[in-house]
Structure 1
């Protein structure tokens, strides 16, 4: 009853309050987030940088976002074709009580993959539309119809996992050389008062300041969620409830579709000073049903303020609980250091024993990022180290693990890995340059082995209780070097001409896979699609 009274009070206050600027949702790519570093990591402000997606009309970001969207506009009279091609949404309406925009989103690429000794291509036709209603409500949706002939390493991933990386399932399975898939996103955002936002979505979320996240990332496919976000002074707090799908577990029937599981997430970000921010995270994953019956959504996890671990214990500890911490410190006016720790499970006496106990499961991240490097305006950079011990994020079965749609909810590599990644990008007028280097070491499984990298395997099938170490198993090294040059055609939906190249090497004692890839295309949208594995 108290929850309903609180919600009613929020709604009443929302209608009674003065007009607020709606939190106008717009998905941004990592490259675009880098363009906002000067505003986000300003030592004279206290921006909650670890919450993503950002809202484009946040007061701190608005001028930077607007300057990007309005780049190239001037007072000269331009033709309708010129304006639509270079400066405006395809369809745009701005009224006093509502706004609306719509765009066609192409992603047409051609290229060559040396490993396949053949051409590769992508044919994506997409759309987006969004807008605001009144001063408190905004909406956004996008959809994509796709066909592609992938590079060999991505083709192998799709055939093995049945999904397109960071997207959805392959419609026709591993028997076809050309892959076909479609997916959509949708967001409804309501801000009754300036302190509270309510979001209903089919999309992704990201927590952290880095390129990767060991807490919650946007690697996996879209999922439905309901999110409450509150801001009061220097504290920002998020509660989110989400439903995920497990493609590994056998379906009960065709009518029931893929097996479901639920997740609840809490994250509090506290700006202690202008330079220092601390974050506190917890989550619980539980399965929707098993062969004995349907559990469904557990009302024990409804309260947005409660600590999740005691509730999980009160339920008999059948679920998968994860806790984590984050920190950010703006060391100089143009450089910030950041880090995260995720604790899945551990035993104190085993941690200090140093004997490689399997259940000491944790991951961490440390990195630095900055802008205007070497006093060159708009030269942004990031250096980051990530690692996760074997069996981190895994559980008794895949219906309880920290994954969704055959990909992790945290780091792209799952567990049992070490990774260093550095990214540099530079923008000058309509020209964008990006370079990225990934160096990783991880342990793969042999036949009938489980060394802890694949989080979808049950940890009950582990090879050993003791003597475990990071990158155990078939020791594999990955080198992934990527570069892109883009020319921005229309900033409103990131339409650009882009040429890119990849040099990739993955090798161990079993195989040595090397390739070089070059591609050229006309691309749009701000999506994050991860292929650096």
Structure 2
């Protein structure tokens, strides 16, 4: 598989180089990088679609600020090849009237100390990225990472329990102390007309304006997908079909491998005005085989990129898992936006309005405020966010149908049965960055193998109570997380930087008080999100 992937990437690079402005340039979804665009994204003078990520930057109003970030402090007087490649340019960079191509080596080397676990932590990653374009309609991007790490105990325990490195891929040797995994992405983008973009790839997708997403996040591992994005006036419409897996479900046979599942997602983002945006979302997840190994063919009614899925799924009597969602954003001030999401997994009107805690009424909610230039300080960006989900949200009658991929949630990393508050503050000055983050959450863990609703991989039919459910039920747990980091940017083209960070984490309930305090320093690169706040 790896050899085939490498050969494909090599052929693609050769094809671009010999065949001959970059259309729809792809930038991986990185919260820290995207937050630097807040003064443009949430400016009351712009009318941008901000909630479908990652972005493809074309000739829109975003092109200039992105170009500014990628040329941050570039010294054009550097003349030696070594100094240009180290501080200013991609390792390989070709700009032609008919095509462009670039490639970089991506080191990610960290050394640190886990004071609680009393051990040395480290990260040893060797990666690459390559991208380019042909003409004005075709572009591509690929990246790959080979990783080994010694992580804090809580992080390693989580990875070992699900045999997946969080948001990355399979934990190759879960019985060993150190983590070992690989991670690849690949995307091809084609824009036949200015109103339509077609993307095929293996990557993550994110819907929303917040740090978290209650609808579709980038926390789980990447997956293959086909995505169509159409723009007409102030409306952007996305239809996506994805292929996912559930390694934790019982296999039908060794030869069949992991249980497979499919997903189709529709999202319409409407910029009603320069201040107000509304979004409408629906999704269906289905199992490709039943527990006996019987294969199910693709339901071609889901191939329709326009139809609203929930009524279709209900009308056809389908056994699949359907959900709907809504998003909203309002720019209350210049460079300041109030945003929110609502995810509805299941709805029984007669019980919903009774407020009797029926386990069948499953929903998630997000409210947040974010913006740029706080207190009129340039590049001082902020975010304050609240997230919550009722018990059993995102779960299904069997785990293969749940709203998850590769043993991790497709939405919020905590699953369900939680409340969370997040605060993030970041400041940039030339090549220096400083950020601080604080999370507080309250959730209910399972005890004595009882299903209180946080673990979305447990069937909701095993709910402890049919009525009287409430957020935080079970083993009530308080979670605290704090992270402070500072960095110096060496090369903005691929985010090569020296970074120093300190992280503290506490998970406390009546049965245990788990703590982690660790410090890390290293040479880092790439724009990918590596979540630790769970």
**Residue equivalent to 1:130:** 131
Asked if 1 retains the 8 angstrom alpha-carbon contact of 2:162 and 2:248, the reply is: no
Within 5 Å, give how 1:76-475 maps onto structure 2. Answer: 76-173=77-174, 175-290=175-290, 291=292, 293-475=294-476
Alpha-carbon separation, structure 2, partners of 1:404 and 1:340: 21
Instruction: Deviation per CA, 1:492-517: give whole Å up to 9, x if none.
Output: 00000000011111000011011211
**Residue equivalent to 2:502:** 501
Aligned residue for 1:399, secondary structure, equals helix
Alpha-carbon separation, structure 1, partners of 2:373 and 2:60: 22
Asked if 1 retains the 8 angstrom alpha-carbon contact of 2:235 and 2:268, the reply is: yes
Asked if 1 retains the 8 angstrom alpha-carbon contact of 2:22 and 2:133, the reply is: no
Asked if 1 retains the 8 angstrom alpha-carbon contact of 2:313 and 2:322, the reply is: yes
Deviation for aligned residue 1:334: 2.0
**Residue equivalent to 2:515:** 514
Alpha-carbon separation, structure 2, partners of 1:295 and 1:159: 32
Alpha-carbon separation, structure 1, partners of 2:507 and 2:333: 37
Instruction: Deviation per CA, 1:350-394: give whole Å up to 9, x if none.
Output: 122121111110000000001000110000000000000000000
Alpha-carbon separation, structure 1, partners of 2:125 and 2:297: 36
Asked if 1 retains the 8 angstrom alpha-carbon contact of 2:113 and 2:121, the reply is: yes
Q: Structure 1 residues 74 and 178 mapped into 2: Cα distance closer, same or farther (>3 Å)?
A: closer
Alpha-carbon separation, structure 2, partners of 1:58 and 1:482: 36
Alpha-carbon separation, structure 2, partners of 1:128 and 1:452: 40
Alpha-carbon separation, structure 2, partners of 1:197 and 1:148: 38
Alignment coverage as a number of residue pairs: 513
Instruction: Deviation per CA, 1:177-209: give whole Å up to 9, x if none.
Output: 011111210000000111100000100000000
What 5-or-longer segments of structure 1 have no aligned partner?
Answer: 1-19
Asked if 1 retains the 8 angstrom alpha-carbon contact of 2:164 and 2:171, the reply is: yes
Alpha-carbon separation, structure 1, partners of 2:498 and 2:47: 36
Q: Structure 1 residues 482 and 77 mapped into 2: Cα distance closer, same or farther (>3 Å)?
A: closer
Q: Structure 1 residues 77 and 440 mapped into 2: Cα distance closer, same or farther (>3 Å)?
A: closer
2:52 aligned with 1:51, yes or no?
yes
Asked if 1 retains the 8 angstrom alpha-carbon contact of 2:46 and 2:274, the reply is: yes
Deviation for aligned residue 1:75: 4.1
Within 5 Å, give how 1:57-72 maps onto structure 2. Answer: 57-72=58-73
Alpha-carbon separation, structure 2, partners of 1:56 and 1:117: 45
Alpha-carbon separation, structure 2, partners of 1:206 and 1:217: 5
Aligned residue for 2:369, secondary structure, equals strand
Aligned residue for 1:156, secondary structure, equals helix
Alpha-carbon separation, structure 1, partners of 2:442 and 2:293: 41
Deviation for aligned residue 1:448: 1.6
Asked if 1 retains the 8 angstrom alpha-carbon contact of 2:386 and 2:422, the reply is: yes
Alpha-carbon separation, structure 2, partners of 1:58 and 1:441: 44
Deviation for aligned residue 1:172: 1.3
Alpha-carbon separation, structure 2, partners of 1:75 and 1:280: 46
Deviation for aligned residue 1:21: 5.9
Deviation for aligned residue 1:77: 4.2
Alpha-carbon separation, structure 2, partners of 1:292 and 1:108: 44
Alpha-carbon separation, structure 1, partners of 2:517 and 2:470: 32
**Residue equivalent to 1:14:** none
Q: Structure 1 residues 121 and 292 mapped into 2: Cα distance closer, same or farther (>3 Å)?
A: closer
Deviation for aligned residue 1:314: 3.6
**Residue equivalent to 2:25:** 24
Deviation for aligned residue 1:22: 1.7
Q: For structure 1, which segment, 33-42 or 244-253, has the greater mean C-alpha deviation from structure 2 after superposition?
A: 244-253
Alpha-carbon separation, structure 2, partners of 1:166 and 1:296: 29
Deviation for aligned residue 1:70: 1.4
Q: Structure 1 residues 112 and 469 mapped into 2: Cα distance closer, same or farther (>3 Å)?
A: same
Deviation for aligned residue 1:59: 1.4
Aligned residue for 1:83, secondary structure, equals helix
Deviation for aligned residue 1:58: 4.5
**Residue equivalent to 1:8:** none
Alpha-carbon separation, structure 1, partners of 2:427 and 2:76: 28
Asked if 1 retains the 8 angstrom alpha-carbon contact of 2:387 and 2:421, the reply is: yes
Deviation for aligned residue 1:469: 0.1
Alpha-carbon separation, structure 2, partners of 1:69 and 1:423: 23
Instruction: Deviation per CA, 1:451-476: give whole Å up to 9, x if none.
Output: 00010111111101011000110000
Alpha-carbon separation, structure 2, partners of 1:73 and 1:455: 47
Root-mean-square deviation over aligned CA pairs:
1.1
Alpha-carbon separation, structure 2, partners of 1:353 and 1:264: 32
Q: For structure 1, which segment, 247-256 or 40-49, has the greater mean C-alpha deviation from structure 2 after superposition?
A: 247-256
What 5-or-longer segments of structure 2 have no aligned partner?
Answer: 1-20
Q: For structure 1, which segment, 72-81 or 432-441, has the greater mean C-alpha deviation from structure 2 after superposition?
A: 72-81
Asked if 1 retains the 8 angstrom alpha-carbon contact of 2:489 and 2:496, the reply is: yes
Aligned residue for 2:56, secondary structure, equals coil
Alpha-carbon separation, structure 2, partners of 1:56 and 1:304: 24
